[in-house]
Amino acid sequence: MVRTLRRREKSPAIFYLGKVKMNSLSVFVDEASNFGPYESHNPFYILTLVLHEQSKSIQPAVKRLEETLLNTAHIPGKAIHINPMIRQNEDYSNQSIDERRKQFFKFMAFIRQCDIRYKAFVFEKKKYDTLSLVGRMSRELSLFVRDNMEYFQSFDSVIVYYDGGQSEISKILTSVFNALLFDVDFRKVRPSDYYLFQAADLICTIELLAAKRDNKILSKSDKKFFYKPQEIKRHIKEVKTKAFSS
């Protein structure tokens, strides 16, 4: 079974220390693209934070997802990874488009059922070199936390989950959150261990599709996977209902 919380956190995540009620906020972070040079086929960098108040259980949604995935080509124990799913590579190289789309729809249903919010930061890579992009990301993340300080400070602790895939992102997260908030716990995770980390991956991909659609640069793989009229538009609209509002 893929875990959404570590073993010691599987019980309801509001717990008591003496008579003090504790509540935590989980922040799952993923990115789309890299800090390499601008390329016409890779023009955007997306950084996504999925916010989950641990007092709001997602276990019923997890149970339904795991049950429905049993009837798909999903490989047990593997993370759901949307970009390879669309492009038919990695674990999806031998799966038909119908098999891949079925998994996508099951995971979209999971996200609809979860009480989560997200914040996505979209950057045009042609405007930045690596150093200036890191600086811009740090500034945008800092502004987001500052603008919503009352919300973040309403929790006794904030737990930031990231897989450590890009060292620049790890540095941005630790510097910004440590500078602005108290009691922040950073955890390096395996994507396969947390469905909400995989949710951040899906949202990154949808936000990237939105940027590509707006700039009329959807790839052949994008158009082939989402082949029904208005399908991309519908999924973008659906995901954006989860966007964080101040």
Does residue 178 fall inside a structural domain?
Answer: no
Does residue 217 fall inside a structural domain?
Answer: yes
Does residue 180 fall inside a structural domain?
Answer: no
Please, which residues bridge with residue 46 across strands?
A: 32, 122
pLDDT at residue 21, as a whole number: 46
pLDDT at 100 > cutoff 90: yes
Does residue 208 fall inside a structural domain?
Answer: yes
Strands (E), the chain: 15-17, 20-22, 24-32, 44-53, 117-124, 157-162, 184-188
Question: Position 181: which residue type?
Answer: L
Does residue 159 fall inside a structural domain?
Answer: no
Which tens digit of pLDDT belongs to each residue from 34-93? 887 777 778 999 999 999 999 999 999 999 999 999 999 999 999 999 999 999 999 999
Does residue 177 fall inside a structural domain?
Answer: no
Which tens digit of pLDDT belongs to each residue from 142-198? 999 999 999 999 999 999 999 999 999 999 999 999 999 998 999 999 999 999 999
Range of the domain at 207: 7-129+192-240
Domain count, the chain: 1
pLDDT at residue 10, as a whole number: 37
Helix axes 97-113, 231-240, angle to 10 degrees: 30
| Global confidence as pTM | 0.89
Count Cβ atoms below 10 Å from residue 101 Cβ, excluding itself.
Answer: 19
pLDDT at 237 > cutoff 80: yes
Does residue 92 fall inside a structural domain?
Answer: yes
Q: What angle do CA 15, 158, 132 make, to 5 degrees?
A: 170
Does residue 102 fall inside a structural domain?
Answer: yes
